[in-house]
Amino acid sequence: MASTVDRRLELHDILKSICPNCYFSPPANKQLKYPCIIYNRTNNLTQYGDNKPYLITTRYSVMVIDPDPDSEIVPEIEKLPLCTFDRHYSVDNLNHDSFSIYF
């Protein structure tokens, strides 16, 4: 079974194939290049059998930040399995599209 780190790196590779500027939990002082994808771990979905966890799926928050309100990145993220769109908002002339994805 793949470790959590291995699965996260697999997700990172997928997101990086969609947008080269991809960041996992960047520090506040990190200079970002736009458009970009920022993602972080938010929760786990645990399924139990015989009162023991047997399948743990990690949920990530994925944020697309793009000056273009019609970002070409957003439809690519929406195509990912177990991905749901959460919301859109604008701050400082940057458009933010938020998603949740189980991976």
Q: Is 51 left (phi over 0), alpha (psi -120 to 50) or beta?
A: left
The answer, yes or no, to whether residue 2 has pLDDT greater than 90, is: no
Identity at 56, one-letter amino acid code? I
The answer, yes or no, to whether residue 3 has pLDDT greater than 80, is: no
The chain-wide mean pLDDT, for the chain, equals 94
Nearest-CA neighbor of 19 among 63, 69, 61?
63
What is the reported pLDDT for 69?
Answer: 95
Segment 8-35, tens digit of pLDDT: 999 999 999 999 999 999 999 999 999 9
What is the reported pLDDT for 36?
Answer: 98
CA distance 70 to 58: 29
φ and ψ at residue 82, rounded to 5 degrees: 55, 35
What is the reported pLDDT for 63?
Answer: 98
The answer, yes or no, to whether residue 86 has pLDDT greater than 80, is: yes
CA distance 71 to 55: 34
What is the reported pLDDT for 99?
Answer: 98
Contact 48, 40 (CB under 8 A): no
Local confidence band at 1 (pLDDT 50, 70, 90 cut-offs) = low
